[in-house]
Amino acid sequence: MASLDDPGEVREGFLCPLCLKDLQSFYQLQSHYEEEHSGEDRDVKGQIKSLVQKARKAKNRLLKREGDDRAESGTQGYESFSYGGVDPYMWEPQELGAVRSHLSDFKKHRAARIDHYVVEVNKLIIRLEKLTAFDRTNTESAKIRAIEKSVVPWVNDQDVPFCPDCGNKFSIRNRRHHCRLCGSIMCKKCMELISLPLANKLTSASKDSLSTHTSPSQSPNSVHGSRRASISSVSSVSSVLDEKDDDRIRCCTHCKDTLLKREQQIDEKEHTPDIVKLYEKLRLCMEKVDQKAPEYIRMAASLNAGETTYNLEHANDLRVEVQKVYELIDALSKKILTLDLKQDPPPHPNTLRLQRMIRYSATLFVQEKLLGLMSLPTKEQFEELKKKRKQEVERKKILERRAALESQRRLEERHSDLVSHATNGEVVSLRGGPAPLRKAEGWLPLSGGQGQIEDSDPLLQQIHNITSFIRQAKAAGRMDEVRTLQENLRQLQDEYDQQQTEKAIELSRRQAEEEDLQREQLQMLREREREREREQFQAASLHTRTRSLDFREIRPFQLEPGREPRDHLAHALDLGCSPAQSSAAPKTPSPSSALEPIRVWSGPPALDQEFFPQSTTSQHNEVPSLNPFDEEDLSSPAAEGTASRPAAEPSLGPPACVLKEYNPFEEEEEEEAVAGNPFTSPDSPAPSPFDEEDGHPHQRPSGPPVPGNPFEEAPCTNPFEVDSESGQEGEEPIEEELLLQQIDNIKAYIFDAKQCGRLDEVEVLTENLRELKHTLAKQKGGAD
Amino acid sequence: MNVVFAVKQYISKMIEDSGPGMKVLLMDKETTGIVSMVYTQSEILQKEVYLFERIDSQNREIMKHLKAICFLRPTKENVDYLIQELRRPKYSIYFIYFSNVISKSDVKSLAEADEQEVVAEVQEFYGDYIAVNPHLFSLNILGCCQGRNWDPVQLSRATQGLTALLLSLKKCPMIRYQLSSETAKRLAECVKQVITKEYELFEFRRTEVPPLLLILDRCDDAITPLLNQWTYQAMVHELLGINNNRIDLSRVPGISKDLREVVLSAENDEFYANNMYLNFAEIGSNIKNLMEDFQKKKPKEQQKLESIADMKAFVENYPQFKKMSGTVSKHVTVVGELSRLVSERNLLEVSEVEQELACQNDHSSALQNVKRLLQNPKVTEFDAARLVMLYALHYERHSSNSLPGLMMDLRNKGVSEKYRKLVSTVVEYGGKRVRGSDLFSPKDAVAITKQFLKGLKGVENVYTQHQPFLYETLDHLIKGKLKENLYPYLGPSTLRDSRCSYDLYYLPQDIIVFIIGGATYEEALTVYNLNRTTPGVRIVLGGTTVHNTKSFLEEVLASGLHSRSKESSQVTSRLASRR
């Protein structure tokens, strides 16, 4: 990494990531960026964007581990992050399981069967058509018979002495009848008749599908016309002539059955019940809602935020439209519900159930979607909103400017102070060399520059980016993109506003407390330093044995890359904040003075006043501990010492923590950079990281038992006691007692184990004991 | 490896493939359960499925404007019903899905019945098991064995269920089974047979490490299903009984009408999903929080939505509010009933002794405690019997076993004959004679140390000390230490050979464990935790059913082992005489 970056050419300050121009303040850089580069190629911005996104992702992952949600607090114990295993709910997405289709097989078998059936039906219908193709009334019966016989060969009378259906013997009285469709013989009782209208229906419905079968000579139209005539003219005659049923066609039961089945099929095909018609309308409406509602919600949200992207009237129109569709859905589903209710034979219960279910699902749909529709501001409200928004933007700008000025002043004021604090001999001896080396480590000027802008206030940065994107998208006429961006922008601005207010409140409060805090913390930090040294020693000795300690050590490692840029960023910001300082800082060979204060100043300029107590104290803090980084650099700059690194981390913890504390302005950025640090906790003013840990056992992975920390497992001795949070400071003495007890217990166990000669146990127990004693010592130290 | 998701995907695919329009879902008794575990009514309504019908119901109306999606098990009856249905179709078009392999001849007879060409799809979708949790499935078979052998009907059902599971997860596993159990071996062989026969189906993308199917027998650990439970899901099942996610609360005193039966599904109940594995104390505090949240959202009576803004806020929150109120009242009722039962049945004390019986080896103190509890009038006959069962299982061969004395106590307490007989039956079912491994005393130095250290911390929850035997088995399996002489591989040497090349390094990653005779929710929790704590390992647990103590005892009873109770009573009398 170092080879990529010549230390001599490191530039710091508010550098524009695109043209590397140094701009004096963050605000200026912002405006510069917007003015100069907003129209420029998107690639760079894409890069920035992706950087931000990456950081966000990392942040989210880390935050998730901390799990502040109460609902989740219970499951934290199993949190996958700390263990490496995965919750079955989170198992990677899987594809659809195996399937096997039998459709082709099925179709093959069906075809074999169906073909036969279909051919039969078609044959019947063709014959039927032939039989009805001529004018029956005006034709002599002999001629009719001849035609009928030509359609299908009749079975010989002599061959059939009995009726095949009922078994009666044919005689003069019981005469034979021929089926006109298949030619078979039956008695009169077994004979069926097909009326002409039915025949007509069957043939006309089939004529499309049968067009290949019907002979071209038969024009369906003529058939139709002639039949019409026959119906009207013959009806009277047929009633008189019983034997000669001209308007009907004789056939056997089998043929009639087949034809009736066919008729049923035709009926079903043609008939659409009311419910289907209504239902189709209903679905159409639902689709419409699915299209329009999101669009409206976007508009309404934007308008309610006082933005002027959308036209209020247009939104109102859309609202009315959507509401109308909802009303229609409601009405349609109601209609479906009450369909056929008053019919005399009441509909089948299943029909009613279907209607109820459709109504229910429509109600669900409306409930879910309609209630999500927010209302629009009235015209007057909208004007007000717009004004308010403008004012807010103005205020923001002013605040920012003021903050920038303030910070510069403070910076200068404090600088002398700082130097006087850092007079410890060891620090002086460490000066020289390391600073540039440190700077050269692990980052590129370009990415650093980008990071700097991002880090100095990612929100603002993002807002500006998006504004320019919107402009571009508008120019390009991509309205949907504009919409998404707008939404994005709105959210960002909201968040920013919130931060602003928080910052203002914090500012006033902190200023009052500043002096006291400074003194107090100096004292505290000195003591903590001593403890930390002890802890480091312990940690090293336990390194390989206990899993929990492994975690502690590994996490800082993972975070290392994330932390590095912060430090560098600090350099950069330092330059930007105070031009005077910027020239001085690089020249100062002291690693601590170059590193520490800067790290602290990396917050927004306005807050540097608050940082100062910290910066001084943290410096003190570093001094006796022989900042391991510096040491490392001095002794073996190339060695990424695995042993000293973890030990070093804790000492880097407090500054980060402090930053987080005092920097509401940059909340987001801080989280990105720091949130992963296991030692930071957002809610107490800079205590030792280890105390912090004891105070909030629920924030730690509670999985593998930590031998040195027996308290953490305490909360489930009795399932009926609702365990209180053991995080209160006031509980410390009790814990101490517990500790003492535990130590005594373990001593007894060791004795026992020695007696029995179980040496491996003795070892484990001794380890345990050591941990406990250490924790006790720490507790006492913390309590003092 | 998520079984809930696997089934859900099948169902969504069916519904999607049938296109738009009103639909009816035609199912049989079992598939109704399978679908209801993964979908709620409102969820499925949104997919235009408005009616749910049973294929065997006679009272179905002709509704030609509906499309029918048939999801059926490929049983003989179902095929017959379907043939009848197709002869006289009631719906316009049929999409037929079988939950398992269907024979060619059945397909043919169906095809021949479809004269009106209403069938548009015939497929096998292997959702042939009840998906309880992402890592837990059940086949809802109660009483799978007769004596020490499979009931042949249930064997085939279990085989179908397991092969369907493998197919739905697209796993073609190596198989290991518990040597001491004949049923385990039998099932393993049957599964293998299906895999060999339907080899085309089981051709999936080869993974570097082949998945593993481990088949175990409940007999090996009869302790776990006899214990009282304190984590939410397990406790609800133990005390109230969960049946396909449904809980019958009708026996709860003063229950309101709409809470007679409630559904606890992690799929759509966030509170349940977050709390199902927490212990009772934690649930208590979480319920309190839930109530508080609810109170906050609830518009106060005296406040009365005065301004329009109030109204608006209320209306906007309403769906959420409504949903929440359902959740709140449901869980408050369930937890309230649990704690009522706990105090009524003196379960805290009972459970403590149970845990002592299951986890510790102090005979005299255990005996004393059991005796003391048997005198306690608050302890129900059910709990008394199970204490004695635990005692009988643990100290079966103890030199100073005093089971006859305890049996006398049971009789004096007025415990019914049925339960007293069950004591010996349980010993017959899961006693030392049938166990393949040692359930009670720690096996090796590591385990001893672990147990000792556990004792040291002294802060452990006394009610949840017990760790199912399954934990150890799986732990060994994951670490590649599961002994092959106790849990051999099944299969021809070819499979073994292919494995041999990396035998030493074969650490399975995707594991399916199946317990013949039923799993328990305690074991499900164990598997859940193993999943979360072991990187790269995914374990799915299944059983012929999911037991609580009651259903377990029914299973034991159904196994028909009580016929031998004479013999075992002889054993006890012999033991008594030895004293």
Query: CA–CA separation, B55 vs B77, rounded Å?
Result: 10
Q: Where are the domains of chain B?
A: 3-126, 129-221+468-578, 232-345
Q: Per CATH, is B129-221+468-578 categorized as 3.40.50.1910?
A: yes
The answer to whether the beta carbons of residues A614 and A662 sit under 8 Å apart is yes
Q: Is B46 on the interface with A (CB under 8 A)?
A: yes
**What's the pLDDT band for A227 if we cut at 50, 70, 90?**
very low
| Confidence at residue B450, expressed as pLDDT on a 0 to 100 scale | 62
In terms of pLDDT, which residue wins out, A667 or A29? A29
- Residues B117, A110: C-beta atoms closer than 8 Å: yes
Q: What is the mean pLDDT of residues B342-346?
A: 90
Predicted local confidence at residue A242, as pLDDT:
41
The residue of chain A nearest to residue B12, with distances taken between CA atoms, is: A96
**Range name among A63-77, B272-286, B461-475, B565-579 with the lowest pLDDT average:** A63-77
CATH fold label, B3-126:
Rossmann fold (3.40.50)
Searching chain B, which residue's CA lies closest to the CA of residue A705? B457
Do B3-126 and B129-221+468-578 come out as alike in CATH topology? Answer: yes
Task: For chain A, give the mean pLDDT.
Answer: 61
- CA nearest to A350 within chain B: B61
Q: How far apart are CA A124 and CA A105, in angstroms?
A: 29
| pLDDT tens-place string over residues B79-138 | 999 999 998 889 999 999 999 999 999 999 999 898 888 999 999 999 999 999 999 999
Q: Give the strand pairing for B174-177 and B212-217.
A: parallel
For the ranges A90-104, A332-346, A709-723, which has the lowest average pLDDT? A709-723
For residues A123 and A183, what is the distance between their CA atoms, to the nearest angstrom?
A: 13
Overall average pLDDT of the A175-182 stretch: 84
Task: ipTM value, please give it.
Answer: 0.82
Residue B255 has pLDDT above 90, yes or no: no
Q: Return the pLDDT at A779.
A: 65
Two structure tokens written together for A717: 């001795």
- Count how many pairs of residues, chain A against chain B, have C-beta atoms within 8 Å: 240
Q: What is the pLDDT of residues B39-56, one digit of tens each?
A: 988 889 889 999 999 999
Closest in A70, A117, A348 to B61, CB measured: A348
Residue A691 to residue A709: CA distance in whole angstroms: 12
Per-residue model confidence (pLDDT) at position A526: 72
To the nearest whole Å, the CA of B260 is away from the closest chain A CA by 22
B315 vs A: CB within 8 A: yes
Least confident of A247-251, B171-175, B367-371: A247-251
For A503-530, what is each residue's pLDDT tens digit? Answer: 767 776 666 666 566 667 667 777 776 6
* Between A308 and A644, residue with greater pLDDT: A308
Q: Cα(A110)–Cα(B114) distance, rounded to whole angstroms? A: 7
Question: pTM to 2 decimals?
Answer: 0.61
The amino acid that residue B207 corresponds to is: T
User: Which chain B residues are Cβ-neighbours of A375 within 8 angstroms?
Assistant: 312
Query: Is the CB of residue A617 less than 8 Å from the CB of residue A415?
Result: no
Residue B158, CA atoms < 13 Å, CB-side half-sphere = 32
Extract the runs of DSSP E, i.e. beta strands, from B451-573: 489-490, 510-516, 519-520, 538-543, 546-547
Bridge-based pairing of strands A177-178 and A185-186 is: antiparallel
User: What is the arithmetic mean of pLDDT over B69-74?
Assistant: 95
Nearest Cβ partner for A109 among B51, B111, B278: B111
**Cβ distance of A109 and B112 shorter than 8 Å:** yes
Question: How confident is the model over A615-641, as a mean pLDDT?
Answer: 41
Q: Give the pLDDT confidence score for residue A17 in this predicted structure.
A: 52
Which residues in chain A have Cβ-Cβ distances shorter than 8 Å to B532?
78-80, 83, 85-87
Q: Which residue has the higher pLDDT, A503 or A30?
A: A503
Give the range among A84-93, A723-732, B67-76 with minimum mean pLDDT. A723-732
Residue B467 has what pLDDT? 86
CA distance A357 to B42: 10
Cα A385–Cα A391–Cα A392 angle in degrees, nearest 5: 90
| pLDDT at B492 (0 to 100) | 53
Give per-residue pLDDT as tens, A384-436: 888 888 888 888 888 888 888 888 888 777 765 655 554 444 443 334 333 33
CB contact under 8 Å between A95 and B45, yes or no, is no
Lowest mean pLDDT among A348-362, A669-683, A766-780, B518-532: A669-683
Cα angle value A413/A414/A419 (rounded, 5°): 125
Mean pLDDT of the B261-281 span: 87
The better pLDDT of the pair A683, A289 is held by: A289
CA separation, residue A442 to residues A445, A450, A485, A561, B454 (Å): 10, 15, 34, 8, 46
Task: Record the tokens describing residue A58, joined without a space.
Answer: 């990392």
Confirm or reject contact between B270 and chain A (CB < 8 A): yes
Q: What is the pLDDT of residues A115-169, one digit of tens each?
A: 777 788 888 888 888 887 777 777 777 787 888 888 888 888 888 888 888 888 8
pLDDT above 50 for A295? yes
Indicate the residue of A99, A368, A372 with minimum beta-carbon distance to B125: A99
Summarize pLDDT for A36-79 with one digit per residue, the tens.
Answer: 554 444 444 444 444 445 445 444 444 443 333 333 333 333 33
The DSSP letter of residue B277 is T
Instruction: Please check whether residue A553 is in contact with residue A543, taking contact to mean a CB–CB distance below 8 angstroms.
Output: yes
Could you tell me which of A400, A414, A413, A415 has the C-alpha nearest to residue A507? A400
From CA A127, how far away is CA A205, in angstroms rounded?
A: 15
State the Cα–Cα distance between residues A534 and A505, nearest whole angstrom. Answer: 39
Residue A104 has pLDDT above 80, yes or no: yes
Q: pLDDT, tens digit, for every residue of B406-435?
A: 999 999 988 888 899 999 899 888 888 777
Q: Is the pLDDT of residue B201 over 70?
A: yes
pLDDT of residue A592: 41
Could you tell me which of A615, A517, A600, A606 has the C-alpha nearest to residue A566?
A: A600
| pLDDT higher at B281 or A703 | B281
Is pLDDT larger for residue A274 or for residue A209?
A274
The mean-pLDDT minimum among A35-39, A260-264, A612-616, A775-779 falls in A612-616
Distances (CA, A) of A366 to A292, A322, A333, B95, B226: 14, 11, 11, 30, 49
Confidence of residue B167 (pLDDT cuts 50, 70, 90): very high
Instruction: Pick the most confident of A287-296, A445-454, A538-547, A754-763.
Output: A287-296
| Average pLDDT of chain B, as a whole number | 84
CB of B328 less than 8 A from some CB of A: no
DSSP letter string, B98-124: ESS---HHHHHHHHHH-TT--EEEEEE
- Kindly identify which residue of chain A lies nearest to residue B229, measuring between CA atoms: A719
B202 CA to chain A: closest CA distance, Å? 8
Average pLDDT for A622-628: 42
pLDDT value of position B216: 94
Mean pLDDT across the stretch A331-340? 85
Where b means 16+ CB within 10 Å and e means fewer, A634-661 reads eeeeeeeeeebbbbbbbbbbbbbbbbbb
CA distance B439 to B458: 23
Please state, for a pLDDT cut of 90, what percent of chain B lies above it: 44
Cβ contact A96–B9 (<8 Å): yes
Q: Using CA atoms, how far apart are residues A685 and A521, in angstroms rounded to an integer? A: 9
What is the CATH superfamily name and number for domain B232-345?
Sec1/Munc18 (SM) protein, domain 3a (3.90.830.10)
Q: Dig out the tokens for B109 from the structure.
A: 């007879």
pLDDT of residue A600: 38
- Residue B181 contacts residue B220 (beta carbons within 8 Å): yes
Contact status, residue B121 vs residue A103, Cβ threshold 8 Å? yes
The answer to which of A165-179, A600-614, B163-177, B445-459 has the lowest mean pLDDT is A600-614
Please check whether residue B514 is in contact with residue B173, taking contact to mean a CB–CB distance below 8 angstroms: no
More reliable by pLDDT, B512 or A51:
B512
Check CB contact of B17 with chain A, cutoff 8 Å: no
Q: Tell me the average pLDDT across B354-361.
A: 86
- Which of A513 and A324 is assigned the larger pLDDT? A324
Report the range out of A240-244, A502-506, B310-314, B497-501 with the highest average pLDDT. A502-506
Contact call for A74 and B124, based on CB within 8 A: no
The stretch A552-577 carries a mean pLDDT of: 42
CA angle (B446 as vertex; B441, B451 as ends), nearest 5:
55
For residue A632, the model assigns a pLDDT of 42
